[in-house]
Amino acid sequence: MASLLTRWFFVLCLALFAVTISDCKDLFELSAIVPRYAKLGETVVLRCNHTVADNQLYKVQWTKSNDKLFQYIRGRVPPFINHTIPGAKIDWGQTSSSNLALMDVQHDASGLYGCTVTTESPIYSKTSEFHELTVIKIQNVDPTIDISKEVFNVGDILDATCTSGPSKPVPEITWLVNGRKPPDTYMKPILKAASDSATAMRLTLPVSDRLGAEVHLTCLSTIPGFLNEKSDYHDYADYRSSSIIVSVAVKSEPVTAGCGKEFISTVAVVAVAAVVVAATANAAAATTAFPT
């Protein structure tokens, strides 16, 4: 009997524990808002959005790749605990219980950031999803386009190379032909070894009359890589472009074909004239031989 009661007590405890855990998961909503990219030297604000009431909030903690960066503890004087933040300094003017402002960010500040919120009653902690922040050194020049010639014939291979300016991380290059991205089989990256460097992309495209008499070539050098044709520079963390126009020679009929047609027409006219002259001469001769 005692064994049976112990077993039922254990099952009841497990059920109550499961209910408690389920309820705690719904105690509040939480999400970390972290910019995907930040430019070298600028200030970024990380936001810990939650639905905990002020009188129930006990602690907010920011972590980067599981390393503590910053803590806010309600009721503590001062309420902030500042840990080492590699590659950045805290901007106290924009930092609060839920926001962490990092100024003068360097490449070491790149990483995965998340926040943990702890309530006072009941004591419960919840951690947000982690989001990646990448600090970039932007390009300071537009990409350059090198091309062998500017006039092509149908059947030629259009061969061009686009080289970006240096940046970190290395930008990605995309070619647009008449405003559209060609198939990847026509683009070949020329890899660079250094991470703080330029990159290049080669375009080899068969020339057809479907391209039109003028072909608009655009090289995009962007971070992140190409999004879609509808995107503009506002959608990228770093955006540079260059464009050129090349011509496709129009096919013309061989000159000999035209001359042949004109020659045949001329021969026909001469032949008709000769027949008329001969008929007139014969008529005159007949009149002379047989006077009326």
pLDDT in tens, the chain (292 residues): 555 544 544 444 444 444 444 444 567 899 999 999 999 999 999 999 999 998 999 999 999 988 999 999 999 999 999 888 899 999 999 999 999 999 999 999 999 999 999 998 888 999 999 999 999 999 999 999 999 899 999 999 999 999 999 999 999 999 999 999 999 999 999 866 566 688 999 999 999 989 999 999 999 999 999 999 889 899 999 999 999 999 998 765 454 444 444 433 443 433 434 433 344 444 444 333 323 3
Cα–Cα distance for residue pair 226/112, rounded to 1 Å = 23
Tell me: do 50 and 91 sit in the same domain. Answer: yes
Inter-residue contact 86 to 115 (CB < 8 Å): no
Out of 249, 266, 284, pick the residue that ends a domain. 249
Inter-residue contact 134 to 110 (CB < 8 Å): yes
Specify if 16 maps to a domain: no
Amino acid, single-letter form, for residue 144: T
Out of 120, 136, 152, pick the residue that ends a domain. 136
Tell me: do 168 and 110 sit in the same domain. Answer: no
Specify if 2 maps to a domain: no
Q: What is the pLDDT of residue 137?
A: 95
Stated as kind and residue range, the H or E segment containing 286 is helix 255-289
Specify if 12 maps to a domain: no
Specify if 259 maps to a domain: no
- Which residue range is the domain that position 95 belongs to? 26-136
Tell me: do 38 and 97 sit in the same domain. Answer: yes
Report the greatest alpha carbon distance in the chain.
159
Tell me: do 243 and 161 sit in the same domain. Answer: yes
Tell me: do 127 and 148 sit in the same domain. Answer: no
Tell me: do 148 and 244 sit in the same domain. Answer: yes
Specify if 254 maps to a domain: no
Environment class of 164 (CB within 10 Å of its CB; exposed 0-12, middle 13-18, buried 19+): buried
Cα–Cα distance for residue pair 113/85, rounded to 1 Å = 12
Tell me: do 150 and 124 sit in the same domain. Answer: no
Q: What is the pLDDT of residue 194?
A: 62
pTM for the model stands at 0.71
Number of domains in the chain: 2
CATH of the domain at 87: 2.60.40.10
